């Protein structure tokens, strides 16, 4: 159903930025029917813009990553693609900076087992590199019996409206399907979008059949089951869907799609995905953890730095964990506590450890960059310790921010709205002394400070604007 053999382009998701992070690359892939001899391998690549060095070129900040992709069969050199992934922005505090640069490369390949090798480095700082090798199986697709492509996980899928949109590399069969290469959903992406192609419906399926959608956890316990009655009209079709996963614990899950008839299952497609919902806790069935890597990371920290890390995790630590850490007296004991703490919040993907810790510390870095108080004083308040920093770290980027200037009898304030959290909540921050140090004075969120006096004052100010 795809006709282009090779293409690539860049999609920029406009989300909140943070300070520079360790250079990394996320990769995923899907396979589709292409011809009788070959299948279509679609490879998704993502690099966080906060991990790339920006260089000032004539007043424009530019970042570039050099990427080399090689598809190897039996360790023999195969198809190779090499290109530059580039991003520009107007200034260092651009409000709509890109969190991820997403790229797609399509290759035609015969059935077989391959190794996919991705190597990337920062063009303006070649010491910042990342590489990833993962096994890839390219299946062949029948032209007579029912088949399903592999599942493509997406951050969004919309109907393409214009001719220009149809030229996008993310255009598939009347849809724009924006891939999510790290396959992480949850607090930041509360809904999971999926795309799958179905083949040979007219040749072997009855007029009526069913599409079954189910989600299983790491122990193969079914958590969601939904069945759609379908009526075939064309031989090949596309199924797209959206699933709310905001109630799932942080962990590893599998999405299963199947075509069924009265006589049984005709075709299936399954794929793992990952959920990060820190407020709901962690699924204890999580598996896959690189203890040595974390041990090396924390063993290099000083006593003061270990103490800082202990403080940082207080926002998401359980009461039992807080009680436990209060009894620790040695630096080694605290290091071991941190290792165990993040071990309980870690899962693996594609043979590579992907930790919830990475996202948590990314938020801390952003909080330190954006919310540090009294920066020009001798004792500035670290951003993660401020009210705004804590709310950002715990709940992520707000869906909407309303910023209001000061008035003769009221300091400047901000309202942060989270539309998907607890059915929709707001946080009210007031800079009472007009010194760029806002504090949380009221929130409609469960477990947060509630002060009707402040709420009424702010609501009165809103109605007079």
- pLDDT tens digit string along 199-251? 999 988 999 999 999 999 877 889 999 999 999 999 999 999 999 888 888 88
Partner residues linked to 44 by β-bridges: 28, 104
Q: Which class in CATH covers the domain with range 1-141?
A: mainly beta
DSSP 305-352: HHHHHHHHGGGT--HHHHHHHHT--SHHHHHHHHHHHHHTTEEEETTE
Torsion of CA 249, 450, 462, 189, to 10 degrees: -10
3-state secondary structure of 403: strand
- Residues with Cβ within 8 Å of 210's Cβ and at least 6 positions away in sequence, in order, are 227, 228, 229, 230, 259, 260, 261
The pTM of this model reads: 0.59
CA distance linking residue 210 with residue 188, whole number of Å? 32
Cβ(193)–Cβ(153) below 8 Å:
yes
- pLDDT tens digit string along 83-115? 998 888 766 544 333 477 888 999 999 999 998
- What number of other Cβ atoms are within 10 A of residue 264's Cβ? 7
Polymer length of the chain? 465
- Residues with Cβ within 8 Å of 169's Cβ and at least 6 positions away in sequence, in order, are 7, 8, 9, 11, 104, 106
Q: Which fold has domain 143-283?
A: Immunoglobulin-like (2.60.40)
pLDDT (tens digit, 0 to 9) for every residue of the chain, 465 residues total?
Answer: 433 222 222 223 222 333 456 788 889 999 999 998 999 999 999 888 778 888 888 888 888 999 999 998 876 778 899 999 888 876 654 433 347 788 899 999 999 999 898 999 999 988 888 888 888 999 999 999 999 999 999 999 999 999 998 998 899 999 999 999 989 898 878 999 999 999 999 988 999 999 999 999 877 889 999 999 999 999 999 999 999 888 888 888 999 999 999 889 999 999 999 888 877 776 655 444 455 666 667 777 788 888 899 999 998 888 878 888 888 888 888 888 888 888 777 644 333 344 578 788 889 999 998 888 655 555 578 899 999 999 999 988 999 999 888 776 677 889 999 987 887 889 999 987 777 778 899 998 888 888 888 877 877 777 666
CA distance linking residue 124 with residue 3, whole number of Å? 36
CA distance linking residue 414 with residue 428, whole number of Å? 6
3-state secondary structure of 299: helix
E-state strands within 139-207: 147-148, 152-159, 171-172, 175-179, 184-186, 191-199
In the chain, which residues fall in CATH 2.60.40.10?
A: 1-141
Q: For 229-251, give one letter per residue: b (16+ CB within 10 A) or e.
A: ebebeeeebbbbbebebbebbbb
In the chain, which residues fall in CATH 2.60.40.2550?
A: 143-283
Cβ(248)–Cβ(276) below 8 Å:
no
SS (H, E, C) 18-61: CCCCCCCCEEEEEEEECCCCCEEEEEEEEEEHHHCCCEEECCEE
Distance of CA 184 to the CA centre of its chain: 4
pLDDT of residue 82: 93
CA distance linking residue 437 with residue 430, whole number of Å? 8
3-state secondary structure of 168: coil
């Amino acid at each position: 159903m795809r006709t282009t053999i090779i293409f690539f382009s860049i999609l920029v998701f406009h989300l909140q930025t943070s300070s520079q992070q360790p250079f990394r690359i996320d990769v995923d892939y899907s396979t589709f029917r292409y011809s009788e001899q070959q299948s279509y391998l679609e490879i998704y690549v993502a690099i966080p813009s906060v991990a790339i060095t920006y260089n000032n070129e004539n007043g424009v900040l530019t970042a570039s990553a050099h990427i080399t992709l090689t598809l190897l069969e039996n360790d023999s050199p195969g198809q190779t693609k090499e290109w530059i992934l580039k991003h520009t922005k107007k200034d260092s505090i651009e409000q709509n900076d890109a969190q991820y640069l997403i790229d797609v490369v399509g290759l035609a390949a015969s059935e077989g087992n391959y190794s996919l090798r991705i190597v990337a480095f920062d063009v303006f700082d070649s010491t910042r590199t990342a590489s990833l090798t993962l096994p890839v199986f390219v299946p062949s697709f029948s032209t007579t019996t029912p088949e399903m492509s592999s599942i493509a996980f997406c951050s969004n899928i919309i109907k393409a409206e214009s001719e220009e949109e149809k030229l996008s590399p993310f255009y598939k069969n009347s849809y724009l399907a924006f891939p999510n290469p790290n396959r992480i959903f949850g607090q930041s992406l509360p809904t999971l979008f999926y795309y799958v192609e179905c083949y040979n419906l007219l040749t072997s399926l009855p007029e009526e059949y069913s599409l079954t959608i189910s989600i299983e956890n790491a122990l193969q316990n079914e958590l969601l089951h939904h069945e759609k009655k379908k009526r075939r009209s064309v031989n090949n079709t596309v199924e797209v869907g959206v699933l709310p996963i905001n109630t799932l614990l942080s962990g590893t899950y599998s999405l299963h799609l199947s075509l069924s008839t009265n006589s049984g299952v005709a075709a299936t497609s399954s794929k793992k995905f990952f959920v990060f919902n820190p407020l709901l806790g962690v699924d204890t069935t999580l598996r896959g953890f690189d203890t040595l890597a974390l041990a090396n990371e924390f063993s290099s920290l000083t006593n003061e730095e270990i103490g800082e890390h202990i403080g940082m995790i207080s926002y998401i630590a359980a009461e039992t964990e807080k009680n436990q850490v209060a009894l620790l007296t040695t630096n080694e004991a605290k290091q071991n506590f941190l290792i165990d703490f993040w071990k309980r919040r870690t899962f693996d993907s594609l043979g590579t450890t992907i930790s919830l810790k990475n996202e948590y510390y990314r938020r801390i870095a952003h909080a330190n960059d954006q919310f540090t108080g009294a920066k020009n004083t001798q004792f500035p308040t670290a951003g993660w310790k401020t009210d705004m920093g804590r709310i950002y770290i715990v709940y992520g980027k707000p869906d909407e921010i309303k910023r209001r200037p000061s008035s003769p009898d009221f300091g400047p304030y901000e309202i942060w709205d989270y539309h998907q959290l607890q059915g929709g909540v707001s946080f009210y921050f007031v800079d009472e002394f007009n010194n760029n140090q806002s504090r949380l004075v009221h929130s409609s969120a469960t477990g947060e400070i509630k002060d009707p006096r402040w709420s009424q004052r702010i609501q009165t100010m809103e109605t007079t604007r």
